[in-house]
Amino acid sequence: MPPALKAFLAQLLGWLLAAGLARFGLLPAELWWLVGAQAASAATFAFALRSAPWWLPVHLAFSPLLVAANQLGVPPGWYLAVFIVLTVVYWTSFRTQVPLYLSNAETVAAVAQLLPSGRPARVLDAGSGTGSLIVPLARQRPDCHFDGIEAAPGPYLVSRLLARGLPNVGIVRGDFFARNWSAYDMIYAFLSPVPMTRVWRKARNELRPGAILVSNSFEVPGVAPARVIELGDGRGTTLYLYECGRDGPSAK
């Protein structure tokens, strides 16, 4: 079951149980007892549904914060505004399980070192966010071409703005799984553990021998990287390099 559906179900069941307890007089008739019972039940249902452990504090805090915020009397338009901003930035993260976070300058420098010197290369940033990798790389290497594919409209628009005037950058909105990768020498992915097996399968099937997949922070499960680069930056970034042309090793 998708995590977002589990979360919805846990909240719903939490409210049904808390309302049932209140109706049969098993809870004191006070709002905070009802809210507390809902929060505890929602967390318990989430645990029973085998949600990831970090969901449990989210369920424990969700309804109490909702009720507390409601008591502050914030005009409803603010909630709508925050909802719209989060939607535009995170878009389908609830489904892809890949949120937005950005590659830093140390990562850009390390990826620049991986580009071939003295000859052009074609690079795809799969899930290019605000262009924080491809825009500075395109400035450093005008002989190379950098493409980005980004699903979320907010980061996509920012990246288009930042890449203005760079003839060696192409950014499109869409799903990187739906596009062919065979033209690329390097695929860069800074995603999450969730899509890595699928990313690897696509890279292995579509890339030419000699092309590489560079994954920032997330390993492909069951596949030994050809090289691991520790950047020693504040975040402890690790780059995993996979040689993924048709001759490369296969995913388990």
Ligand X SMILES: C[S@@+](CC[C@H](N)C(=O)[O-])C[C@H]1O[C@@H](n2cnc3c(N)ncnc32)[C@H](O)[C@@H]1O
Rounded CA separation 11/238 (Å): 36
The residue range among 53-61, 113-121, 144-152, 161-169 that interacts with ligand X, by the rule CB under 6 A, is 144-152
Is 225 among the residues that bind ligand X (CB under 6 A)?
A: no
CA atoms within 13 A on the CB side of 89: 10
Rounded CA separation 218/238 (Å): 8
Q: By the 8 A CB rule, do 223 and 198 touch?
A: no
The residue range among 60-68, 73-81, 143-151, 226-234 that interacts with ligand X, by the rule CB under 6 A, is 143-151
Q: How far is the CB of 93 from ligand X (least distance, A)?
A: 6
Is 206 among the residues that bind ligand X (CB under 6 A)?
A: no
Q: How many residues bind ligand X (CB under 6 A)?
A: 23
Long-range contacts of 168-172 (CB under 8 A, 24+ apart): 168/138, 168/141, 168/142, 168/143, 168/144, 169/131, 169/134, 169/135, 169/138, 169/145, 170/145, 170/146, 171/128, 171/131, 171/134, 171/147, 172/147, 172/148
| Of the candidates 2, 32, 1, 4, the residue with the CA atom closest to the CA atom of residue 18 | 32
Instruction: Write the binding mask 154 to 173 for ligand X: x where contact by CB under 6 A, - elsewhere.
Output: -x------------------
Is 125 among the residues that bind ligand X (CB under 6 A)?
A: yes
Rounded CA separation 4/10 (Å): 10
In eight-state DSSP terms, residue 51 is -
Q: How far is the CB of 128 from ligand X (least distance, A)?
A: 5
Is 152 among the residues that bind ligand X (CB under 6 A)?
A: yes
Is 248 among the residues that bind ligand X (CB under 6 A)?
A: no
Is 96 among the residues that bind ligand X (CB under 6 A)?
A: yes
Rounded CA separation 41/37 (Å): 6
Which one among 37, 46, 111, 151 touches ligand X, defined by CB under 6 A?
Answer: 151
Of 125 and 206, CB closest to ligand X? 125
Is 103 among the residues that bind ligand X (CB under 6 A)?
A: yes
Of 125 and 243, CB closest to ligand X? 125
Q: How far is the CB of 36 from ligand X (least distance, A)?
A: 36
Query: By the criterion CB under 6 A, which residues form the site for ligand X?
Result: 91, 96, 98, 100-103, 125, 127-129, 132-133, 149-152, 155, 175-177, 190-191
